[in-house]
Amino acid sequence: MTLPVDTPRQRHRHVPAAPMTTVHDSIAALVEQEGWRAEGDAARVHYDGGGDRFAVEFYANAERVLYWTVPSAESDATAATAAPVPREQVPDPLRRRIREDLDAAGVDPDVERREV
């Protein structure tokens, strides 16, 4: 439908939308932290310490952090499987570091404490 030229136009007041953060914004921000890399809707970082190797994963959609033990490169093939680690068995300095990284990326650091 075509409107006649003399039809008055309605004026709409522009209301700017609040900036929206997306799942990918949190992943992109985490990737800026040391060691983190993006993997789809998740971010992952690896830590070595005290003879243990951990993979830490942040899942943006679920807002959860998972910890995994990771076999060393020297381990034999039969033991070369990552396994989930309960939070209470993850060293406190590592958990604190993850919360700091989340906070620096603008993600609520309390997501690190959420149960899966």
Pair 64, 116: CB distance under 8 Å: yes
- Domains identified in the chain, total number: 1
Pair 59, 53: CB distance under 8 Å: no
In this structure, is residue 14 part of a structural domain?
no
In this structure, is residue 5 part of a structural domain?
no
- What is the residue-wise DSSP string for 30-47? HHTSTT-EEETTEEEEEE
Give ∠ CA 84-85-90 in degrees, rounded to 5: 150
In this structure, is residue 82 part of a structural domain?
yes
In this structure, is residue 13 part of a structural domain?
no
Q: How far is CA 85 from the centre of its chain?
A: 18
Per-residue confidence in pLDDT tens, the chain, 116 aa: 333 444 444 444 444 444 555 558 999 999 999 999 999 899 999 998 777 899 999 999 999 999 999 987 666 555 568 899 999 999 999 999 999 999 999 999 999 999 98
**Could you tell me the residue range of the domain that residue 58 belongs to?**
23-113
